[in-house]
Amino acid sequence: MTTTPVGHPTSFSFFKRFLCVVRRIKTKVSSSSLLLDQSTEPTGPASPLIAMAPHLRSPPSVRRASPISRIPVELLTQIFTHVPRVEFEESLQFKARIAPSGPMWMAIAQVCHHWRMIVADCREFWSYIPLQSSLYWVEVSLARSHPHPISFSVDLSATQPEWYQRAALSALHVISRAREVYIHTSAVANSGLHMAALRILDDAAAPKLEVLGIHGTVACEPVPFSGSIFRHHTAAALHTLTLAFCEVHPSSPLFQAPLVSLRLENCRVEFPLGVLSLLPHLRTLVLAGIHGTFLSYSSDVVRLLHLRHLELTSPSSDIAFLLRNISIPPSTSLSITCVDYIVSDDPLDDLTLLHKITLILSPVLATYLERAFAEGYSLPLLEITTPTNASKRNISLLDPTSTSTSTSTSSTGTPTSPQLNLSLVWADSSTDLFFQMLSALPIAALQRIHTLGMREEDPSCTAAKEARSRSSPAQPRRPLPLPLAGFHKKARDEAVMGLLTLVMQQGLLPALREVSFQGIDFKNLDVDLVARVLVHRQRAMTGGSITLSLRDCIVSDGTIGAFQDCLGLDAVRLGV
């Protein structure tokens, strides 16, 4: 029996969630002529791994009788390298506990000798450096991955144990090999590790670095850390940069890189236009909660001709300033979130504050939409999304015929249809916020709306949806805590009432012909009220009829029949 190393997961139950990926594709390759020869050993030397971790050696008598051994080595390699990637991404979503133990994904090497030899020869498998585990596994990973580009996340925000400091410095010393690096720091950090990291990064060259994230600490002042990195070298391959709770200046060497994606969150940015003027090739730009003395009148306009997605989260006056001074293509997807309610110092009632917001935003949104319409784009769908956050209200203008995501291009290279997402951060209010939000849109946009929809967002799945696309097995939904479930129910009911109010306004949406519900559980709705509103709208129409579309909804046959009796058999459409 194989000896189990200390600190390694031995339970096969941990790895069985990854095995289901293998089992799903097993049927696809069972007929393949490219089958593994049971007597053939993987190519390439495995002695360095055995020398560093002799306990991974398996007795030659171990047999590979599992049907999974029939899967080609190339395919198993792709699956295995996906596992540490998933673990690495999860550690970024949820800060991993620093403890001297083996990385969880090493359970792969404990399944059988065949799998162990595959991962021993795969440099990419070892390229996600597990700094939170132990110095031993960091050194093993660095050695086994050489010379493949590496990815790691290092925490400099607090005093760390000695073994972690040595592990972090080992990774930082080979940053010339790094492809993806995430640094957590703070304005008050003055540990020896923090100082040593600064000295390394000050003079470091990172020719392979593609993705960099620097995150300050929420409770502290913005950190100037980002201005000290790569002072003497340009990260020529860097295309994605995220800065959170940092001080940002145009003079930072980071902005000399050919960035295509920039995300600034809660940063102090004195000259945002100066920063953006250095980045003409941006395709994705996210500015959330940036602050500083930058809202002076300026005639300078920054042209971002390649931008595909622009996301702004700020008070409405800041958003208007940025939209006036950033020239974007008509095809750009625009997402704005107004936080005036939580940052405004004016003692205004809800309606007055709403009027102020819409007065500020209307001109810039009109300009954005008019340019899109002039280019031939159409945004006929007005969609209300039930908020995952009880304090957030969302409406969207989009083209339902566009199947591509807003940040991509079609197969021919043509930009996809633009999309406007408008959100308000607001507390409980008796005011119909959705109706008031429409006043920020120009009449020309309202007259084009053909479909009014409502889509259910499940708060229990928000984190998974925001994470990067993965092929790991879907996890079962967990019920929401009772307080959060209550908030969501109230927000959903408010969204339903907002939609019905808009349907009742005959003159507001004159071209409306379809009302769509997606992912809605109708047992939570007042079905009679929905039917009465739709019938009222249909009777008030001088021509045409109203169609009810139910997509991926939980609805009984009796409810469907009732809608068909009220609106007509052909007026109710079912789909997924």
pLDDT tens for the 576 residues of the chain, in order: 444 343 344 444 444 444 554 454 444 434 333 333 333 334 444 444 445 455 445 455 545 555 666 788 888 888 888 888 888 888 787 665 565 566 777 788 778 888 888 888 899 999 999 888 889 999 999 999 999 999 999 988 777 888 989 999 999 999 999 999 999 887 666 578 888 888 888 888 899 999 999 988 765 566 666 566 887 778 899 999 999 988 888 888 899 999 999 999 999 887 788 899 999 999 999 999 988 765 555 667 899 999 999 999 999 999 999 999 999 999 999 999 999 998 887 778 888 999 999 999 999 999 999 999 999 998 999 999 876 566 788 999 999 887 444 344 444 344 468 999 999 988 776 678 888 899 999 999 999 999 999 988 654 444 333 433 333 333 333 333 444 455 567 777 888 888 999 998 888 999 999 999 998 888 888 899 999 999 999 988 877 789 999 999 999 999 999 999 999 999 999 986
pLDDT for the residue numbered 337: 95
Q: What pLDDT, on the 0 to 100 scale, is given for residue 37?
A: 37
For residue 38, count other CB atoms closer than 10 A to its CB: 11
The answer as to whether 209 is a domain residue is no
How far apart CA 464 and CA 461 sit, in angstroms, is: 5
Contact of 302 with 385, CB cutoff 8 Å:
no
Residue 92 covered by a domain:
yes
Distances from the Cα of 375 to the Cα of 106, 378, 382, 441, angstroms: 53, 9, 20, 18
Q: How big is the CA angle at 44 (ends 43 and 46), to the nearest 5 degrees?
A: 115
Contact yes or no for 569/547 (Cβ under 8 A): no
Residues 390 and 480: their CA atoms lie apart, in Å, by 13
Place of tokens 């507390």: 427
Q: Coil, strand, or helix at residue 544?
A: coil
- Other residues' Cβ atoms within 10 Å of the Cβ of residue 175: 22
The verdict on residue 16 lying in a domain is yes
Place of tokens 């994230």: 213
Give whole-number Cα distances, 46 to 115, 144, 550, in Å: 13, 9, 57
CA 331 to CA 311: how far, in whole Å?
14
H or E segment and range at residue 83: helix 73-93
- Whether 510 maps to a domain, the answer reads no
**Residue 446: what pLDDT?**
94
Residue 421 lies in a domain: no
298 lies in some domain: no
The pairing of beta strand 381-385 with beta strand 392-398: antiparallel
> Structural domain tally of the chain?
1
Cis peptide before 147 (omega within 30 of 0): yes
Count CB atoms within 10 A of the CB of residue 506.
13
Q: Where are the alpha helices (DSSP H) in 335-481?
A: 340-343, 350-374, 433-437, 443-446, 462-466
Backbone φ and ψ for 56, nearest 5 degrees, come out as: -80, -10
Could you give the maximum distance between any two Cα atoms of the chain, in Å?
Answer: 83
Q: How far is 465 from 564, CA to CA, in rounded Å?
A: 34
Q: Identify the pLDDT of residue 544.
A: 77
- What pLDDT is stored for residue 304 in this prediction? 96
Neighbour count for residue 560 (Cβ, 10 Å): 16
Amino acid 530 reads: V
Q: What Rg value do the Cα atoms of the chain yield, rounded?
A: 28
Q: Specify the pLDDT at position 333.
A: 96
pLDDT, position 41? 38
Alpha-carbon dihedral sign for residues 47, 51, 52, 58: positive
502 part of a folded domain: no
Cα 232 vs. chain centroid, distance in angstroms?
32
Q: Is residue 174 part of a domain?
A: no
* Predicted local distance difference test score (pLDDT) of residue 90: 81
> 228-233 — which CB contacts under 8 Å span 24+ positions?
228/198, 228/201, 228/202, 229/201, 229/202, 229/204, 229/253, 229/254, 230/201, 230/204, 230/205, 230/206, 230/254, 231/202, 231/203, 232/202, 232/203, 232/205, 233/203, 233/204, 233/205, 233/206
Per the structure, the complete domain to which residue 45 belongs is given by 1-143
Burial 303-336 (b: 16+ CB within 10 A, else e): ebebbbbbbbbbbbbbbbbbbebbebbbbbbbbb
